[in-house]
């Protein structure tokens, strides 16, 4: 594993231009990308280095001395051996790149009997997932990809679903996916929503880059966040809590903004992430699904 750092800034905010700083820090085209964006009157500069590269503190000091506003991001990169050896991997779709609109506002039904009355965490889906069939970009997502997300629900085409089923993965099941047309018709798609029977215990407090943001005062399960730009996310679970994990699992914690006033038709529900074994990653990669991120979890004593 190695930790990588990305530094971004506007080259036009530097007297003499970005090369004054890049050359002084010895950051050449091998680590720096420069793009002029005339419509914004900016020169976008992106420098990517290892966290222990001696050029990094030099670059940051030069930018600080000039009062340049800097955006910085840190993350871990893993080897294939580390992915293979991990007991579980966080399946993390990058931002909203492959997201389609769907959920309760499109008619997906849920059992709320065990849900939190304040944030609706614990709502149990009881119908096929309903997604928007009107917005053209939504429709194109299904035409151009083999796996997409809908508020972090993972949707796969029928062929990939069959491959996952034939692999005999424990804890895995599927629901149907339907597009809701402008006239209200529901058209079943040749896609399936991945579901997990097992929910993991809460993460270890030794996790970093993860924590409470606006935790629900009633249930304490929603309002968590991950992927702090300044700290690499490193999820940890107690050794005893990994025992009994399936090939496909859900996290106990819920994430995302919530809009809940007791009505599904206006709701935005919190979501959980999937934790899967390395064999799931291999199936995705063999199917040509390369746009998702995978994060090995760590096992600790407490």
Burial of 248: CB neighbours in 10 Å, binned 0-12, 13-18, 19+: buried
- Strands (E) in the chain, as ranges, are 2-10, 32-37, 42-50, 71-77, 89-92, 110-111, 124-125, 129-132, 147-150, 153-157, 172-180, 186-196, 198-199, 210-212, 224-226, 236-238, 248-250, 274-276, 293-296, 298-300
In this prediction the pTM is: 0.90
Q: Which domains does the chain have, with CATH numbers?
A: 2-77 (3.30.70.260), 85-300 (no CATH)
CA 182 to chain centre: 30
| Per-residue confidence (pLDDT) for residue 47, from 0 to 100 | 98
Name, in order, each residue with C-beta under 8 angstroms of 262's C-beta and a sequence gap of 6 or more: none
Q: Would you give per-residue pLDDT tens digits along the chain (302 residues)?
A: 999 999 999 999 999 999 999 999 999 999 999 999 999 999 999 999 999 999 999 999 999 999 999 999 999 999 999 999 999 999 987 656 788 999 999 999 999 999 999 999 999 999 999 999 998 888 898 999 999 999 889 999 999 999 999 999 999 999 999 999 999 999 999 999 999 999 999 999 999 999 888 899 999 999 999 877 788 999 999 999 999 999 999 999 999 999 999 999 999 999 999 999 999 999 999 999 988 999 999 999 86
């Amino acid at each position: 594993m190695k930790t990588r750092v990305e530094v971004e800034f506007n080259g036009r905010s530097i007297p003499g231009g970005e090369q004054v700083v890049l050359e002084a820090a010895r950051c050449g085209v091998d680590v720096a990308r420069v793009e002029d964006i005339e419509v914004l009157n900016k020169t976008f500069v992106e420098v990517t280095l290892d966290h222990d590269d001696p050029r990094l503190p030099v670059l940051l000091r030069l930018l600080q001395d000039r009062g340049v506003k800097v955006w910085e991001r840190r993350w871990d990169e893993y080897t294939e051996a580390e992915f293979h050896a991990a007991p579980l991997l966080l399946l993390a779709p990058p931002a909203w790149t492959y997201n389609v609109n769907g959920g309760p506002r499109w008619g997906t039904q849920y059992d709320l009997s065990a849900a939190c009355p304040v944030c609706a965490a614990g709502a149990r889906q009881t119908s096929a997932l309903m997604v928007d069939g009107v917005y053209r970009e939504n429709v194109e997502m299904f035409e151009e990809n083999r796996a997409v997300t809908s508020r972090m629900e993972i949707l796969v085409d029928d062929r990939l679903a069959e491959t996952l089923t034939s692999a005999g993965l424990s804890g895995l099941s599927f629901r149907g996916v339907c597009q809701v047309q402008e006239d209200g018709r529901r058209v079943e798609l040749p896609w399936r929503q991945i579901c997990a029977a097992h929910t993991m215990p809460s993460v270890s407090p030794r996790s970093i880059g993860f924590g409470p943001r606006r935790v629900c005062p009633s249930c304490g399960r929603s309002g968590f966040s991950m992927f702090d730009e300044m700290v690499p996310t490193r999820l940890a679970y107690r050794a005893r809590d990994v025992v009994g994990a399936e090939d496909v699992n859900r996290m106990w914690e819920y994430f995302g903004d919530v809009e809940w006033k007791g009505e599904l038709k206006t709701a935005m529900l919190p979501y959980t992430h999937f934790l899967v074994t390395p064999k799931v990653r291999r199936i995705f990669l063999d199917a040509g699904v390369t746009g998702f991120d995978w994060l090995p979890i760590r096992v600790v004593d407490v």
